[in-house]
Amino acid sequence: MSEITGSDIERARAELPPYIRRTPLLRSEELSAALGHPIWLKCENLQITGSYKARAAFTLLHRLGEDARRHGVALTSSGNFATAFAYMGRRLGVPTVLVMMRKTSPFKAEQVARLGGEIVWCEDRFEARFETLRRLEAERGLIAINHLEDPTVVIGHGTIGLEILEQLPEVPTVLVPISTGGLIAGIALAVKERHPQASVIGVQPEGSKATYLSFKAGAIVSIPETRTICDALTATRPGTLMFSLIQRYVDDIVLVADEAVAEAVAWLAREEKLVVEPSGAVGIAALRSGQVTPHGPTVALLSGGNIAPAHLAEILTSKT
């Protein structure tokens, strides 16, 4: 396993092009007043491609050798990484093939197709995604990226941590959604190497808690299936590299109910004027439902905004 350091993340940050947004960090007036500490929203839902995945997609594709660029790359994704890859592949001239499960949000699949990414469907099973990836590698000579174990993914995601520290001079607690664990691994590493006294807390849906169970058990636990409205948080196990970083740097992991997540999505639209997908609203759900009690400046990472309009409409109608 490769050892990643904070300076790897600093280098990746310096490489990011101007079109990768330094997303706004907005103070929530209402939550800060209600909870008695400043609550900040890191708006990666406003990142290009609608999620933070644009960062790691750039870092990965930008660093490919000539050969890999010509052959093209394959990746498996629940939607947001696929969108980011399709976008960045087109921008950087690298063919992209995206392996997606049949149950993928049609809204996300359509975005990928619109951006010119080639979709290869696989059955609705987490491991089937990786089997299909290996097949594509063997049959078509594509460079398969295993986002569950790739250190460059962690490094790309970690650039968000550095940005938060620049934007907020106080040492924060940061709340981060967890699926495979790559996002929180990168952010925790970036934040904790600079400020060991900061806190990084992961949030998972009750119906998709593989990393939570692994964290509590002290070893990787797989779960048979997931059941949640958070369609970007469906990993049935954390990555090995990701999990080792989580064990080292993450302070705690909490769970939220889908009900609280839907309420957070509605609240973010109504009060903060932000469209956030359920997976991106778990941190706000944890704060609003009392799963996390802030003790100082707290940042909730809004990781994405790719929600189908009809789904958002349904949530707005039922939760407000």
Binding positions for its own copies, rule: CB under 8 A: 19, 21, 24, 26-27, 29, 45-46, 48, 50, 266, 269-270, 272-276, 305, 309-310, 312-314, 316-317, 320
Q: Which residues have CB under 8 Å from 211's CB, separation 6+?
A: 178, 179, 180, 181, 202, 204, 235, 237, 238, 243, 246, 253
Closest CA to 305 of 84, 65, 40, 17: 84
Q: Output 8 or 263, the one with its CB closest to its own copies.
A: 263
What number of other Cβ atoms are within 10 A of residue 90's Cβ? Answer: 14
Coil, strand or helix: which one is 201?
A: strand
Closest approach, Cβ 306 to its own copies, in A, equals 8
Closest approach, Cβ 163 to its own copies, in A, equals 14
Q: Output 214 or 279, the one with its CB closest to its own copies.
A: 279
Dmax over CA atoms of the chain, in Å, equals: 57
Closest approach, Cβ 252 to its own copies, in A, equals 29
Closest approach, Cβ 318 to its own copies, in A, equals 9
Q: Which residues is 255 bridged to in the sheet?
A: 204
Q: Output 18 or 65, the one with its CB closest to its own copies.
A: 18
Contact present, 125 and 101 (Cβ < 8 Å): yes
Q: Output 290 or 309, the one with its CB closest to its own copies.
A: 309
Closest approach, Cβ 48 to its own copies, in A, equals 6
Q: Which residue's entry shows tokens 């976008």?
A: 87
| Distance of alpha carbon 197 from alpha carbon 187, whole angstroms | 14
Q: Which residue's entry shows tokens 């209600």?
A: 34
Q: Output 114 or 216, the one with its CB closest to its own copies.
A: 114
